[in-house]
Amino acid sequence: MDIWTFTQDGYREEDIVTNGNRFLVGNGYMGFRGTMDEWGRRQMAAVCLAGVYDQNGDRWREPVNAPNGLFARLTVNGADMALGAEKPLEHRQTIDFRRGVHKRDTLFEPVRIQSERFASMAEPHLLRSRLTLTFRQDAEAELLCGIDTDLWDINGPHLFDYTYKTSPFLLTEARTGELNIPVAAAQNASADFPCEETREAAETGVFRRLRFNAAAGQTYTITLAACVFTGLDGPNPGERAQALCGQTRGFAEDLTAHEAAWEAVWSASAVELHGGGGEAARSLNASLYHLHSIAPRHAQSLSVPARGLSGQTYKGAVFWDSEIFLFPVFVHTEPELAKTLLRYRIDTLPGALRKAAEYGYRGAFYPWESQEGGAEGCTDYNVTDVFTHRPVRTYFRDKQIHISGDIAYALWKYYEITGDDSLMREGGAEVILQCARFYLSRAHRRADCDKTELLDVIGPDEYHERVNNNAFTNQMAAHCMSCAIALADADTDFARALIQKLDYDADLALLREIEPKLRPVFAEGALIEQFDGYFSLEDASLAAVRSRVLDEREYWGTNHGVAAHTQIIKQADVVALTALFPSLFSDQTVERNWRYYEPRTEHGSSLSACMYALTACRFRRPDLAWEHFVKTASIDLSGGGKHWAGEIYIGGTHPAANGGAWMIAALGFAGLSVRNGEITLNPCLPEQIETLRFPVCARGKRVTVTVTRQGWTLE
Ligand code: IFM
CA dist 566 and 596 (Å) reads: 14
Strands 30-32, 111-119: pairing kind? unpaired
State residue 654's pLDDT score.
97
597-640: pLDDT as tens digits = 999 999 999 999 999 999 999 999 999 999 999 999 999 999 87
Per-residue confidence band for 641, with pLDDT thresholds at 50, 70 and 90: confident
pLDDT digits (tens, 9 = 90+) for 271-289: 999 998 899 999 999 999 9
Cα of 15 from ligand 1 centre, angstroms:
24
The DSSP secondary structure of 487-525, one letter per residue, reads HHHHT-HHHHHHHHHTT-HHHHHHHHHHHHHHSPP--TT
The pLDDT score that the predictor gives to residue 224 is: 98
State the pLDDT at residue 148: 98
Give pLDDT, residue 560: 86
Q: Rounded to a whole number, what is the distance in angstroms from the first to the last CA of the chain?
A: 28
* pLDDT bucket at 152, cuts 50 / 70 / 90: very high
State the catalytic residues. Answer: 462
- Domains of the chain (ranges plus CATH)? 5-267 (2.70.98.40), 270-714 (1.50.10.10)
The pLDDT of residue 83 is above 80: yes
Q: Is the shortest distance between the CB of 319 and ligand 1 below 6 Å?
A: yes
Contact between 206 and 245 (Cβ < 8 Å)? no
Does 320 contact ligand 1 (Cβ within 6 A)?
yes
Q: Which phi and psi (to 5°) does residue 158 adopt?
A: -120, -15
What b/e sequence results for 42-75 when a residue is b if at least 16 CB atoms lie within 10 Å of its CB, and e otherwise? Answer: ebbbbbbbbbbbbbbeeebbbbbbbbbbbbbbbb
Which residues partner with 680 through β-bridges?
673
Contact residues for 377 (Cβ-Cβ < 8 A; gap 6+): 53, 60, 61, 62, 315, 316, 317, 367, 369, 370, 371
Q: What is the pLDDT confidence band of residue 180, given thresholds at 50, 70 and 90?
A: very high
CA separation (Å) from 239 to 35, 122, 233, 499? 28, 20, 12, 47
Phi, psi dihedral angles at 486 (to 5 degrees): -60, -40
Please name the residues in contact with 71: beta carbons below 8 A apart, sequence gap of 6 or more: 37, 38, 40, 45, 144, 145, 146, 147, 148, 205, 207
pLDDT at 451: 94
CA atoms of 428 and 500, how far apart (whole Å): 16
Q: At what angle do helices 471-490 and 402-418 cross, to 10 degrees?
A: 50
112 SS3 class: strand
Q: What is the pLDDT of residue 601?
A: 98
Distance CA 648, CA 646 (A): 6
pLDDT recorded at residue 700 = 87
pLDDT digits (tens, 9 = 90+) for 128-138: 999 999 999 99
Pocket of ligand 1 contains residue 321 by CB under 6 Å: yes
Atom from ligand 1 closest to the CA of residue 462:
5
pLDDT tier for residue 478 given thresholds of 50, 70 and 90: very high
Alpha carbon separation from 473 to 137, 427, 468, 544 (Å, rounded): 67, 24, 10, 29
Atom of ligand 1 nearest to the CA of 570: 5
Amino acid 476: pLDDT: 98
Query: pLDDT of 48-66, one tens digit each?
Result: 999 999 999 999 999 999 9
Contact 23, 310 (CB under 8 A): no
Please check the confidence at residue 647 and state whether its pLDDT lies above 90: no
CA distance 13 to 567: 39
Instruction: Give the atom of ligand 1 at the shortest distance from the alpha carbon of 319.
Output: 1
Would the CB of 462 count as within 6 Å of ligand 1? yes
Condensed to tens digits (0 to 9), the pLDDT of residues 559-570 reads: 889 999 999 999
- CA atoms of 88 and 74, how far apart (whole Å): 14
CA distance 652 to 670: 29
Helix (H, G, I), strand (E, B) or coil at 679: strand
**CB of 656 closer than 6 angstroms to any ligand 1 atom:** yes
pLDDT band of residue 378 (cuts 50, 70, 90) is: very high
| Predicted confidence (pLDDT) per residue in 300-311, tens digit | 999 999 999 999
Gap from CA of 40 to ligand 1 centroid (Å): 29
Which residues, including other chains, have CB under 8 Å from residue 228's CB and lie 6 or more apart?
29, 30, 47, 49, 66, 69, 125, 127, 183, 184, 185, 241
According to the model, what pLDDT value does residue 175 have? 98
Length of the chain, please? 715
Q: What is the DSSP secondary structure assignment for residue 278, as one 8-state letter?
A: G
What average pLDDT does the structure give for the chain?
97
What is d(CA 366, CA 374) in angstroms, rounded to the nearest whole number?
Answer: 7
Measure Cα distances from 150 to 47, 52, 68, 186, 469 in Å.
Answer: 12, 18, 9, 15, 49
pLDDT at residue 642, rounded to an integer: 79
pLDDT at 637: 94
Question: Does 646 have pLDDT greater than 80?
Answer: no
**Average pLDDT of span 492-507:** 96
pLDDT for position 677 = 87
Is there an atom of ligand 1 within 6 Å of 607 CB? yes
Atom of ligand 1 nearest to the CA of 650: 7
